[in-house]
Amino acid sequence: MQDKIKQLLLQIQNGNFRALARGITLVENDLPGYYDLLQSLYDTQKSKVLGITGPPGAGKSTLVNALLHHWIKEGKKIAVIAVDPSSPFNYGALLGDRIRMSDFYNNDNVFIRSLATRGALGGLHPKIIEISDLIKNAPFDIILVETVGVGQSEVEIAGLADCTIVTLVPEAGDTVQTMKAGIMEIADIFVVNKADRDMSEALYRNLRILVHEKAGKSDEIPVIKTIATEQKGVEELAKSIEQFLEKQNAIPDKRLHLLTEKGWHLIQEQKMKNMDRKKIRGELQMAMKQPDFNLYVFIKNYLINHI
């Protein structure tokens, strides 16, 4: 198994898309060897992750498609993780691979993978950190993560991404005030997409006022207007992304918070791996027959005897 994992990782590092897809499947489904693969990764802090989020209908997939067109012309190699809503029946991705990115399915410089949220509260896949780390070991210039867009609960993307773009549309103008606290914490760049629509200028001005009030002594968050379907404003957005990434020279607090939470979860998982739910049920069934049964005392004693 170890030799197969080493061979798989070597293929991923050499840019083999099929090997990368196999590796993601291993990790996504907890298949044999997945943890050995994760433990073999390195350089997971070097590659840059770009997060694109925003409410449904903001044109996130179209914006990703436009950025791909721009960066492919510059000779860059891009990975796209598109996190889709889950089917309530099988927890698979409901939308599948994004139709709007179909131009790039056979492009040797673009890797696209759809993942289902599987009910994860943050709008991301529960294994998004592990999958991102795996993709970082492949030779990509940029890793794009497009999220479901579930509003203020979607704070995970801010910890995962080196740069987070919040995409809004003119119709979102009335909701900006209610979203203010959440999106100000998440956004590194605001995009007003579909900027040819009515009310786009009003939303743009409101966002500019918002970022100016928030800035204080730090730099203002850029606000950029785009019409992604016509490739307008995309070059300015790409330049703004590159400038933000160039200035970033420290690990963001949001990243540390996310990895702390993930580390806590993994430690719990490892500590609990020898726990047998059926065995707990059996012992609990016997204990409940005692007149002085106390669940919390039972748990305390169970942990003493089994860990």
Place of tokens 């050995």: 36
Q: Please state, in angstroms and rounded to a whole number, the distance separating the CA atoms of residues 206 and 111.
A: 36
My answer on whether 184 and 269 are in the same domain is: no
Plot region of 149 (φ>0 → left; ψ -120 to 50 → alpha; else → beta) = left
Query: Does 120 lie in the same domain as 60?
Result: yes
Same domain, 102 and 163: yes
Say if residue 15 is in the same domain as residue 72.
Answer: no
299/302 Cα distance (integer angstroms)? 5
Tokens of 79: 């990975």
What is the predicted pLDDT for the residue at 180? Answer: 56
Q: Which of 77, 64, 81 is nearest to 128 (CA)?
A: 81
What domain range includes position 53? 43-251
Listed residues 208, 226, 251: the one ending a domain? 251
Same domain, 97 and 25: no
* In a shared domain, residues 49 and 33: no
Domain boundary among 228, 251, 274: 251
Contact indicator for 194, 170 with CB cutoff of 8 Å = yes
Show which of 229, 251, 273 is a domain's final residue. 251
Same domain for 54 and 27, yes or no, is no
Q: 178 with 77, same domain?
A: yes
Please count the other Cβ atoms lying within 10 Å of the Cβ belonging to residue 96: 11
- In angstroms, the CA 295 to CA 287 distance is 9
Within 13 Å, how many C-alpha atoms sit on residue 219's CB side?
11
Decide: 6 and 132 in contact? Cβ < 8 Å.
Answer: no
Q: Taking a C-beta distance cutoff of 8 angstroms, is the pair 142, 28 a contact?
A: no
User: Alpha helices, DSSP H only, in the chain?
Assistant: 2-13, 17-28, 34-39, 60-73, 128-136, 156-160, 176-186, 200-215, 234-247, 253-272, 277-287, 295-306
| Radius of gyration of the CA atoms of the chain, in A | 22
Estimate the crossing angle of helix 234-247 against helix 60-73, to 10 degrees: 80
The amino acid present at 119, given as its one-letter code, is G
Per-residue pLDDT at 121? 46
In one letter, which amino acid is 44?
T
Contact 168, 142 (CB under 8 A): no
Shared domain for 74 and 195, answered yes or no, is yes
Residues 104 and 172 in one domain: yes
Query: pLDDT tens digits, the chain, 307 residues: what are they?
Result: 788 999 999 999 999 999 999 999 999 998 999 999 999 998 766 678 999 988 878 888 899 999 999 999 999 999 999 886 544 334 444 444 455 566 787 889 999 998 876 555 455 678 888 999 999 999 999 999 988 765 544 567 778 889 999 998 887 655 565 455 566 678 899 999 999 998 889 889 988 988 888 777 678 899 999 999 999 999 999 999 999 998 876 667 777 878 888 888 888 888 887 788 899 999 999 999 999 999 999 999 988 887 6
Same domain, 151 and 3: no
Number of compact structural domains in the chain: 3
168 and 116 in one domain? Answer: yes
